[in-house]
Structure 1
Amino acid sequence: MTPRQEGYTVKNGRLINLAPDGMTGIARAASMKRAVKADRKVNQIAEAIEMAENKKNFRQLYF
């Protein structure tokens, strides 16, 4: 196998690693946890805005 096929390239006589940096399972889990938390926060804010709009519209009704 050539170095290029193994994920390496030769530049100015040096072997350069082209592989992306690996991410550990713990780092991946922490990243997913942050994403879920941010998503929940956005959904909570959206629900609060929707409830405020509904409350405002309800006050404008005449019975």
Structure 2
Amino acid sequence: MDRRIAIDTDVCIGAGQCVLTAPETFTQDDDGFSEVLPDANPRSPRVTLAIQACPVGAISVREEG
């Protein structure tokens, strides 16, 4: 099964904790909201840390397939 990192854009407040925790996985768009980089590894331990660091719980990893 494949995993996919998801950011709930309705919940994200642009705090940037994910970018600080896992800059190889996350970036912020022009409005300051988080985005997942194209080559992001959803199995990275830093993704788990970023999920925990998000103050509003906007990040998740979902199983697909």
TM bin (shorter chain): under 0.3
Q: TM-score, normalised by structure 1?
A: 0.23
- The structure with the largest alpha-carbon Rg is 1
Q: TM-score, normalised by structure 2?
A: 0.22
Higher helix share: 1
